[in-house]
């Protein structure tokens, strides 16, 4: 029995499928089955109950996996602590939401490139729900997304918070940015909402109430870039972080609306699985926090800040 055997048990306990575990470890399902069988024979008890559709840990297996995670984590910590930091290498699969991809991602990549030149990075951009789902399915190593509710299996490192403001095309309101607009004023315009089920979609519902939104004209977009283009085209108004449209604000193409009811800010975090934590993942999470601090320092606290 060695570290690779322990890692096999951990992956199978989480994926609960021989084929998925084999694909993740670049092995065949038969090889995974043989490895588990050899371990069970050596241990003298069954780690898993198997049926045609699923694989589940036995009571003894649950206790074993808990200890195996600790052993594997300590092993990787030991190996990485003895390696020079600038010698770290490998591929890191990162998921990121568009608002962070347009703002702090360049800073993250620049720091990684300077400090760890041998690290290769693969980027996936999607909604918070999308990247977190891919993280849970082990398709990504770490994600930068809207801060989730804490759970025992997630490690969460705060990156930054962006202010959220209603934005329109500059000529859409006769009074410009000087007028103080109420919720009713906003509801009198076409709204561009986030995709149904997303965090900020729910924030918009909370801001207006679902009942009042029923009579409003609401368009939906699952792309921040598309939303910005729709605002620029005069399709409607939307609530987004002004830090992502600095160019459009400078040129006067778009404007921030002055409202009498503030929209809640959005907080972002680096998120990774407790069971998959490595030194590299932890380092990149802290780099994201550093990049968030550097970026936020260029703006007033109403637009961007870090706790």
- CATH fold of 3-81, please? Arc Repressor Mutant, subunit A (1.10.10)
Q: Are 14 and 48 in contact (CB under 8 A)?
A: no
Cα distance between residue 139 and residue 271, in whole Å: 13
The CATH class given to the 162-264 domain equals: alpha beta
Number of H helices, E strands in the chain: 13, 14
pLDDT of residue 298: 95
Of 89, 78, 108, give the one whose Cα is nearest residue 286: 108
Average pLDDT over residues 178-204: 93
Q: Which of 21-30, 179-188, 227-236 comes out lowest in average pLDDT? A: 21-30
Cα distance between residue 108 and residue 284, in whole Å: 8
Average pLDDT over residues 213-228: 94
Q: Which of 39-53, 113-127, 251-265 comes out lowest in average pLDDT? A: 39-53
Per-residue pLDDT tens digits for 92-120: 999 999 999 999 999 999 999 998 898 99
Q: Does the pLDDT of residue 192 top 70, yes or no?
A: yes
pLDDT of residue 94: 97
Residue 273 structure tokens: 């699985």
Instruction: Tell me which CATH code domain 85-161+266-300 carries.
Output: 3.40.190.10
Average pLDDT over residues 12-33: 87
Q: Does the pLDDT of residue 276 top 80, yes or no?
A: no
Reported confidence tier of residue 175, pLDDT bands at 50, 70, 90: low
Cα distance between residue 232 and residue 226, in whole Å: 10
Average pLDDT over residues 5-33: 88
* Boundaries of every domain in the chain: 3-81, 85-161+266-300, 162-264
Q: Do domains 85-161+266-300 and 162-264 have the same CATH topology?
A: yes
State the CB neighbour count (10 A cutoff) for residue 159: 28
> In the predicted model, what is the mean pLDDT of the chain?
90
pLDDT of residue 229: 97
Q: Does the pLDDT of residue 275 top 80, yes or no?
A: no
| Buried b or exposed e, range 177-197, using 16+ CB within 10 angstroms | eeeebeeeebbebbbbbbeee
């Amino acid at each position: 029995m060695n570290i690779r055997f322990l890692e096999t048990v951990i992956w199978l306990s989480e994926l609960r499928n021989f084929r998925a575990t084999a694909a993740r470890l670049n092995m065949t399902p038969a090889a995974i089955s043989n490895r588990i069988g050899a371990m069970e024979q050596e241990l003298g008890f069954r780690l898993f109950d198997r049926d045609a559709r699923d694989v589940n840990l036995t009571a003894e297996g649950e206790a074993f996996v808990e200890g195996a995670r600790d052993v594997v984590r300590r092993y990787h910590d030991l190996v990485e602590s003895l390696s020079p930091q600038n010698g770290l290498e490998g591929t890191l699969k990162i998921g990121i939401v568009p608002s962070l991809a347009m703002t702090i991602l360049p800073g993250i990549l620049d720091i990684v490139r300077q400090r760890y030149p041998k690290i290769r990075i693969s980027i996936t951009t999607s909604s918070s729900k999308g990247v977190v789902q891919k993280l849970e399915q082990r398709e990504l190593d770490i994600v930068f997304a809207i801060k989730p509710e804490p759970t025992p299996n997630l490690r969460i490192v705060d990156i930054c918070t962006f202010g959220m403001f209603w934005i329109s095309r500059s000529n859409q309101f006769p009074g410009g940015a000087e007028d103080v607009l109420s919720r009713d004023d906003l509801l009198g315009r076409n709204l561009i909402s986030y995709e149904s089920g997303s965090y900020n979609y729910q924030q918009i519902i909370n801001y207006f109430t679902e009942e009042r939104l029923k009579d409003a004209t609401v368009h939906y977009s699952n792309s921040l870039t598309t939303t910005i283009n729709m605002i620029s085209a005069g399709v409607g108004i939307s609530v987004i972080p002004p830090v992502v449209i600095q160019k459009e604000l400078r040129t006067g193409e778009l404007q921030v609306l002055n409202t009498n009811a503030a929209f809640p800010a959005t907080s972002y975090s680096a998120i990774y699985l407790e069971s998959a934590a490595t030194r590299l993942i932890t380092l990149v999470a802290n780099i994201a926090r550093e990049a968030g601090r550097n970026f936020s320092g260029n703006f007033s606290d109403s637009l961007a800040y870090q706790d």
